[in-house]
Structure 1
């Protein structure tokens, strides 16, 4: 069993690793290969890929995503091997904190490597939200770029600029007193919403519901969760946010929907 960089020629092997209920992992790895801040890796044994995982590096922080082990190889230490190798790769960088979102199956594996549970995300689905858009919501304009990035950093505590910059043209902004108090990015993964006021967050959740029927929200954001529950949504699952390394400040109550499980 050895670990090596995942390459374009490996994409055809991913179908055998596709977990039930997950989005298309082949598309995810195509994106990883095309993104300079991502490092996809594979584990091989006897000429067969038996596991994969990826680093998404934001500088001082990084996320591990798509750590997947072939179903017939589980319980043999492959998940621990992948995770340890990805962590070791980051030891040679400026990264101070490594994050991931763990499933119930994966959480014990990550604890073996030294990750600690930090908080949880609540998964919701169904429900009906009002369809009338808020008059405070406007389309993104390029002169708002730095302001939006500043809002994002102040909430999540990470420099996600390389991740979100390609999607700003389609962003919806919630403006209060001429300043951004929330944004929604419909073209990236699950459609993230960051908002510093309840009004902004709930209005953008309504906008997002036109195209999305599922939400994943930090459990600390009781305002967002209750807003959806009161409108017919139901809790469908929960995931654990885990950390290895230095803790950093963030505002989970201002995240009204995550980007995705691989980046928070």
Structure 2
């Protein structure tokens, strides 16, 4: 068995680990290989790819993503080994808090490493929202003047410094303004289309805009406003996943999340 960093030559074999219902993992690992703040690893056994995973560093916070073990090698402790290796990478960079989102299959493995469940993300799919007229007078396209306001709101929500990741997509962002104050933002071109808002009016307005062209939302159970909104249209969660934490508890505001960025960024 060999555990090693992944590089570009490993991208073709990684497709053998593609999971049903997941977006193309080769795209994700291509990004991990290129990004200076991401650290993907692989496990080779019997001259074939047995498992993969990645650590993504955000200052003193890390996320673990795409921890996958080939079905033929499950039950041999590889999931735990990959997770421990990724945690150690995060510790090398002095990360005080490490997050991941866990499936039902993965959660027991992560608990053995020391992760605890912090909350649940509710997964709504096949949403067909009525194409009603939206009040968009408060929604403005991105301007450079909005950069710091978006960063401040994002840090208040996530307790992470993610601007270095968001800024590549800010040109496509939309913000909800009330008396020149940013109450929410939406970035439709970034992964799942993150929606962060500190007021219900901003969150619902941006969510309705998102649902014009998309049919899925994933958000923490603490967002009672969005749960109630969806229930009034007869929607219930199709499934859920656990947001798990290793290390220091951060002062996050889960109710501000109306749609997550992605499974490896919360």
The within-5 A match list for 1:231-250 is 231-250=233-252
Find the counterpart in structure 1 of residue 214 from structure 2. 212
Asked if 1:122 is matched to 2:122, the reply is yes
SS of match in other structure, 2:82: helix
Q: Distance in 2 between matches of 1:105 and 1:37?
A: 27
The within-5 A match list for 1:159-198 is 159-198=161-200
Alignment length, in residue pairs? 264
Deviation at 1:28, TM superposition (A): 0.6
Question: With structure 1 as the length reference, what TM-score do the two structures score?
Answer: 0.97
Find the counterpart in structure 2 of residue 4 from structure 1. 4
Aligned to 1:202, which of 204, 208, 214?
204
Contact in 2 for aligned 1:5/1:41 (Cα 8 Å): yes
The within-5 A match list for 1:1-264 is 1-125=1-125, 126-133=127-134, 134-264=136-266
Contact in 1 for aligned 2:129/2:212 (Cα 8 Å): no
Contact in 1 for aligned 2:119/2:221 (Cα 8 Å): yes
SS of match in other structure, 1:174: strand
Deviation at 1:46, TM superposition (A): 2.0
Question: With structure 2 as the length reference, what TM-score do the two structures score?
Answer: 0.97
Deviation at 1:209, TM superposition (A): 0.6
Q: Distance in 2 between matches of 1:29 and 1:82?
A: 15
Contact in 1 for aligned 2:104/2:241 (Cα 8 Å): yes
Q: CA RMSD in A?
A: 1.0
Contact in 2 for aligned 1:131/1:210 (Cα 8 Å): no
Q: Distance in 1 between matches of 2:130 and 2:150?
A: 26
Deviation at 1:231, TM superposition (A): 2.1
SS of match in other structure, 1:122: strand
Q: Distance in 1 between matches of 2:123 and 2:165?
A: 23
Contact in 2 for aligned 1:64/1:100 (Cα 8 Å): yes
Q: Which runs of 4+ in 1 moved over 4 A?
A: none
SS of match in other structure, 2:66: strand
Deviation at 1:129, TM superposition (A): 4.0
Ranges in structure 2 where 5+ consecutive residues have no aligned partner: none
Q: Distance in 1 between matches of 2:45 and 2:130?
A: 49
Ranges in structure 1 where 5+ consecutive residues have no aligned partner: none
Q: Distance in 1 between matches of 2:101 and 2:130?
A: 27
Q: Distance in 2 between matches of 1:64 and 1:86?
A: 7
